[in-house]
Amino acid sequence: MDLAFLVDITQELNILNLKLQGPGQLITAAYESVKAFSTKLRLWKTQLSAKNLCHFTTCRSIVEEGTAFSGDEYAAAIDNLLEEFDQRFADFKSHRDTFQLFADPFSAEVETVPSVLQMELIDLQCNSELKTKFREAQGKADKTGQFLRELPPCYPELSKVFSRVMCLFGSTYLCEKLFSTMNFNKCKYRSRLSDAHLEAVLRVSTVTSIRANVAQFCEQKRCQVSGKK
């Protein structure tokens, strides 16, 4: 039963881990995923105490075979996991108000934001043109980030806040991707690869937004024509 419980909870942790990875993900999306998982843990704790295994399929299959199930024991394990999440993601909670402002500045309560942002936030929320553009970009991380980066100069304080949020890292995905690329390129079969070459290779391979303009390259090349007719 312990192994079955571990299988079920590890499967859920793997799903959360995949949600926290991937390129171009904003930290607000990572915060929402962690917040949702913490809410699931509280639900699972209550259900396990009542021996409700609707979300623990492996445990349920063993119980159906006649194995006894101790709900309080596994509810305590969920409680320990919940405490670990609260401790490890405490930084997320300290930035909760800023994340909510970033996720939807047009629905934010003006009274809850710092006084230095209140006047700009009122002007922003009353701008119907910007509101329409934001609603069109909402739900798409790249377009939302582009919209917030390109706010008019009349919103300097809001632009600073949004820029800081977009610079935050939600996971170690980028670091792991960088080291994997480095290990792939710096191998024993490439002994002539210098540090300068490696830096250039890493810069190009880790920036997915760079695309080679093949048509332009071809136009710059001239065909070598023979002098004989």
What pLDDT, in 10s, does the model give residues 50-76? 999 999 999 999 999 988 888 899 999
Do 61 and 22 fall into the same domain?
Answer: yes
pLDDT band for 207, please (50, 70, 90 cuts): low
Do 86 and 23 fall into the same domain?
Answer: yes
Domain termination residue (choose one: 167, 186, 210): 167
pLDDT at 167 over 70: yes
Listed residue (166, 162, 164, 140) closest to 151, CA to CA? 162
Tokens of 170: 């939600």
Domain termination residue (choose one: 66, 94, 122): 94
Domain termination residue (choose one: 94, 112, 131): 94
Q: How far apart are CA 85 and CA 45, in angstroms?
A: 14
Mean pLDDT of the chain: 85
Whether 228 is covered by a domain: the verdict is no
pLDDT, tens digit (0-9, with 9 covering 90-100), for 99-150: 888 888 998 899 888 899 999 999 999 999 999 988 888 877 778 878 888 8
Do 76 and 123 fall into the same domain?
Answer: no
Do 59 and 111 fall into the same domain?
Answer: no
By mean pLDDT, which of 10-14, 151-155, 216-220 is the weakest?
Answer: 216-220
Whether 229 is covered by a domain: the verdict is no
Query: Are 27 and 168 in contact, with CB atoms under 8 Å apart?
Result: yes
Do 73 and 140 fall into the same domain?
Answer: no
Q: 219 or 10: which carries more pLDDT confidence?
A: 10
Mean pLDDT of 9-26: 86
Whether 137 is covered by a domain: the verdict is yes
pLDDT of residue 68: 87
Domain count, the chain: 3
Do 107 and 158 fall into the same domain?
Answer: yes
Do 47 and 112 fall into the same domain?
Answer: no
Do 117 and 156 fall into the same domain?
Answer: yes
Listed residue (137, 139, 112, 108) closest to 124, CA to CA? 108
Q: How many CA atoms lie within 13 A of 109 on its CB side?
A: 3
pLDDT of residue 62: 93
Q: 43 or 219: which carries more pLDDT confidence?
A: 43
pLDDT of residue 224: 62
Mean pLDDT of 23-37: 85
Do 108 and 141 fall into the same domain?
Answer: yes
Which residues are CB-neighbours of 75 under 8 A, at least 6 positions away? 45, 46, 48, 49
Whether 227 is covered by a domain: the verdict is no
pTM above 0.75, yes or no: no
Whether 65 is covered by a domain: the verdict is yes
Buried b (16+ CB within 10 A) or exposed e, 66-83: eeebeeeebbebbeebbe
Whether 156 is covered by a domain: the verdict is yes
Domain encompassing residue 65: 2-94
Do 6 and 90 fall into the same domain?
Answer: yes
Do 177 and 202 fall into the same domain?
Answer: yes
pLDDT of residue 226: 58
Do 15 and 77 fall into the same domain?
Answer: yes
